Structure 1
Amino acid sequence: MGRQDTPNSGAGRNGSAKTAGQRTAPGKSAPRAGRKPSPAVYRRRRLFAGVALLLVLCLIAGGVATLTSLLGGAQQASSAQDSAQGASTEGGEAAQPGATPSASPSATPSASPTCDQKLVTVKATTNKTSYAADEKPVLSLTVTNGGKLPCKVNIGTSQMDFLVTSGSDRVFSSGDCQADSTDLVKTIAPGKSETANFPWPRNRSVQGCEKVAEGAVGGGYYVFIAKLGAKVSPPTVFQLS
């Protein structure tokens, strides 16, 4: 008897045909199933992500610092400009912003203040306004410092002169017969005075101390003028009996 095919054998062929139909066409590779990345790849990815995040943070921090610096510099510049505009020079002119301040000239040391000799005055006085026939007038020369500083003044006999006149008549001068003249420099405080007294013996004198025929003076009005160097006092009038 000849071989008969069984249904199972047909099914097997059909199953073989189906399997063959599922094969990949020539020239194309079969798709590979997806695999999980290795731990090294994960580490590299995490490292890359960390570096990128660090760079972003650095850029943000740098931008904030730069912005803060710019804002601070602008604020300082504004304050400096306001200060420069508010400042004024000694003459009252406002200082220009940004201008370099010029150095003020050094103060020249002034000379020590000295006494004003024009404020040193001389005054002539007598101890009485009238004298009896047996009285001798006392003539007084007073030098006063009317300034605000002490003054050195030569009040020696070399500078003094007690002069008595009567009209145009030069009656007496203490310098006519002065044998020895001396210098005496004194410091007179402000507002203070020095006084020299000369008892006049009611006699006449001439320059060079020559002998005078009429030695005594008669009664009448006389004028006393005190001199100290170039300074001359106002006249003082007194009467002799």
Structure 2
Amino acid sequence: MTETVTRRRHSPAVYRRRRLVVLLGLLAVIALVVWLVVAPPWRGSAADSPAPVASPTPTGDPVATDLPALESDGSAATPTPGPSGDRAASDAEAAETADDVAVTSSAEPCVPGDLLVEAVTDKTEYAAGENPQLSIRLTNNGDACTLNVGTTGQVFTVMSGNDTWWKSTDCQAEPSDLMVLLEEGQVVTSAAPITWDRTRSSVETCGATERQAAPAGGASYHLYVSIGGMNSTNTAQFLLQ
């Protein structure tokens, strides 16, 4: 005689608990997949950090606009204000331009054969009590090139015959360097001329209140200039009355 086994049915509460466990497990799997996609554990801190941005740095040399004006101790020569009447403002503007107009250049240093260096005076004859104003003019007849046009490399010399009467480097104050790019065919001149006070200069008399006056009465003088080690191809002759 076979005995029939009757299976016991679970209560509805048991089925509800099982379905809840399955649902929670499914939600956990979905959450894990989302986490792996959105925030993969293999990403290190380097990937989370933004890439560094290189700050722009000026390269090359500023394009030449004019030549810096010489500074002196006030006895050998005095800088002459430009058209604005304010030489200091002119120099500051030139320096700002040099900072703002930085260019990338592979130009070679200038050589004497490419540059025309000229001595320039504002007049050829000066009346009694009138002081000569001296400048440099540069013309680049070659390819674009670089040159130190700072006051360290500028030399003004006034001579009468073989007698040197005045030299800008005798009493120069605070010389500085300034590397610039001279474009092909470019012409630049002194930002502001300097005024020779018609006296003899020397390193021993820079602070003197009285120095030997240059002869006048039609006496002839010649201005020689050099810049960056390159001498002027001419002299500027003038007369003192």
Instruction: Return the TM-score normalized by structure 1.
Output: 0.49
Instruction: Return the TM-score normalized by structure 2.
Output: 0.49
